[in-house]
């Protein structure tokens, strides 16, 4: 698979993440760890089914290193994100958590042969400015207990960014292994649910649809698409493009009637487009566009 194709595949994950907030809001009162257990189970089943249909089921068994990294990223980030939303106001915690795209762009420079181009940095700063503008002005009402939640959100951003970039070091590990990792993450989430939560099942067809929508899309296919993008695509570009996720998510909420359109939203969209244009503007033969620029060899 070419770097361009892998990068486009990674962009598909960002598009799916635009539905994350909408589907999550539509799941009703299902507790977070229970929701994680259910959606990770659906995601794992999806991955196993696709692998079997493609005759690649034998590739789904992860190495110890791959499983450990996957649980660190998938389960670790999800658990920290849920904890952040419990202790801190959701909008502000979400903004702090969305530092992960900027961290991805910066961490990419640490990969073998990686080069942090000025265009990537400028695009990342514009993207962060767009996200800050989108949620800006809401930090003033946070109480003292929210500090712990913000710490969880920041740690979650670090976990997801470091997991995403570290995936490049395991570029030869088949993406099918993500399916088994999701099943393992489901088991961990179920254990946490039994320890800390009371079970509450979805009510009605719409809530069940939202649960399955999460498991098949933002907490399902998106993980597989992101794995491909991180292992074989343009890591800094995907990091910058990830800033589209909170904006797209908000647009989806507006269209669904969960939020009101604002001038800040429109300005954020302009900044996102400007950041993406700057980040992608480079000579066709730029080394950052090839997998070899990060893995140390051509494929």
Spatial separation of the C-alpha atoms in residues 246 and 259, rounded to whole Å: 13
> Of 214 and 113, which is predicted with more confidence?
214
The total of structural domains in the chain comes to 1
Q: Give the contacts of 195 (CB within 8 A, at least 6 positions apart).
A: none
3-class SS letters over the chain: CCHHHHHHHHHHHHHHHCCHHHHHHCCCCCCHHHHHHHHHHHHHHHHHHHHHHCCCHHHHCCCHHHHHHHHHHHHHHHHHHHHHHHHCCHHHHHHHHCCHHHHHHHHHHHCCCCCCCHHHHHHHHHHHHHHHHHHCCCHHHCCCCHHHHHHHHHHHHHHHHHHHHHHHHHCCCCCCHHHHHHHHHHHHHHHHHHHHCCCCCCCHHHHHHHHHHHHHHHHHHHHHHHHHHHHHCCHHHHHHHCCHHHHHHHHHHHHCCCCCCCHHHHHHHHHHHHHHHHHHCCCCCCHHHCCHHHHCCCC
Evaluate whether 31 touches 193 at the Cβ level (below 8 Å).
yes
What per-residue confidence (pLDDT) applies to 261? 78
217-269 residue pLDDT tens: 998 999 999 889 888 888 778 877 887 777 787 778 778 876 677 787 778 77
Averaged pLDDT, 145-167: 86
Evaluate whether 289 touches 2 at the Cβ level (below 8 Å).
no
Q: Is the pLDDT of residue 284 over 60?
A: no
Task: Compute CA 145 distance to the chain's CA centroid, rounded to the nearest angstrom.
Answer: 26
Averaged pLDDT, 56-85: 88
> Of 103 and 209, which is predicted with more confidence?
209
Domain boundaries, position 148: 3-295
Q: Is the pLDDT of residue 112 over 80?
A: no
Confidence of residue 115 (pLDDT cuts 50, 70, 90): confident
Q: Is the pLDDT of residue 159 over 90?
A: yes
- 264: exposed, middle or buried (Cβ count in 10 Å: 0-12, 13-18, 19+): middle
Q: Is the pLDDT of residue 69 over 50?
A: yes
31-48 residue pLDDT tens: 889 999 999 999 999 999
> Of 190 and 84, which is predicted with more confidence?
190
Confidence of residue 132 (pLDDT cuts 50, 70, 90): confident
Spatial separation of the C-alpha atoms in residues 279 and 242, rounded to whole Å: 12
Evaluate whether 121 touches 255 at the Cβ level (below 8 Å).
no
pTM, to two decimals = 0.78
Average pLDDT, the chain: 81
Positive/negative CA dihedral, 89, 93, 94, 96: positive
Which residue has 């480079």 as its token pair? 282
Give ∠ CA 279-252-245 in degrees, rounded to 5: 30
Instruction: Determine phi and psi for 282, rounding to 5 degrees.
Output: -160, 155
Q: Is the pLDDT of residue 291 over 50?
A: no
What per-residue confidence (pLDDT) applies to 18? 84
Averaged pLDDT, 158-184: 89
What per-residue confidence (pLDDT) applies to 104? 80
What per-residue confidence (pLDDT) applies to 289? 40
> Of 279 and 13, which is predicted with more confidence?
13
6-34 residue pLDDT tens: 888 999 999 998 888 788 878 888 888 99
Q: Is the pLDDT of residue 197 over 50?
A: yes
């Amino acid at each position: 698979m070419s770097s361009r194709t892998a990068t486009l595949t990674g962009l598909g994950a960002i598009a799916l993440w635009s539905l994350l907030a909408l589907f999550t809001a539509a799941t009703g009162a299902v507790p977070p760890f229970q929701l994680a257990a259910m959606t990770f189970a659906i995601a794992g089943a999806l991955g196993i089914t696709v692998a079997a249909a493609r005759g690649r089921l034998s590739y789904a068994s992860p190495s110890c290193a791959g499983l450990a990294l996957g649980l660190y990223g998938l389960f670790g980030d999800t658990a920290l994100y849920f904890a952040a939303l419990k202790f801190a106001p959701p909008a502000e915690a979400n903004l702090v958590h969305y530092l992960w795209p900027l961290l991805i762009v910066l961490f990419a420079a640490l990969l073998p042969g990686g080069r942090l181009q000025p265009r990537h940095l400028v695009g990342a700063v514009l993207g962060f400015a767009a996200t800050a503008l989108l949620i800006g002005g809401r930090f003033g009402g946070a109480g003292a207990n929210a500090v712990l939640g913000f710490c969880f959100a920041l740690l979650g951003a670090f976990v997801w960014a470091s997991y995403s970039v570290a995936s490049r070091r395991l570029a030869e590990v088949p993406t099918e292994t993500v399916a088994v990792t999701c099943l393992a993450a489901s088991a961990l989430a179920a254990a946490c649910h039994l320890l800390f939560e009371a079970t509450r099942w979805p009510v009605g067809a719409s809530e069940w649809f939202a649960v399955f929508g999460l498991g098949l899309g933002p907490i399902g296919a998106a993980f597989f698409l992101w794995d491909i993008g991180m292992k074989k695509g343009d890591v800094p570009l995907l990091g910058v493009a990830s800033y589209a996720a909170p904006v797209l998510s908000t647009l989806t909420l507006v269209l669904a009637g969960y939020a009101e359109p604002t001038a800040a939203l429109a300005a954020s969209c302009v900044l996102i487009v400007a950041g993406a244009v700057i980040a992608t503007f480079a000579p066709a033969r730029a080394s950052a566009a090839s997998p070899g620029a990060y893995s140390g060899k051509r494929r």
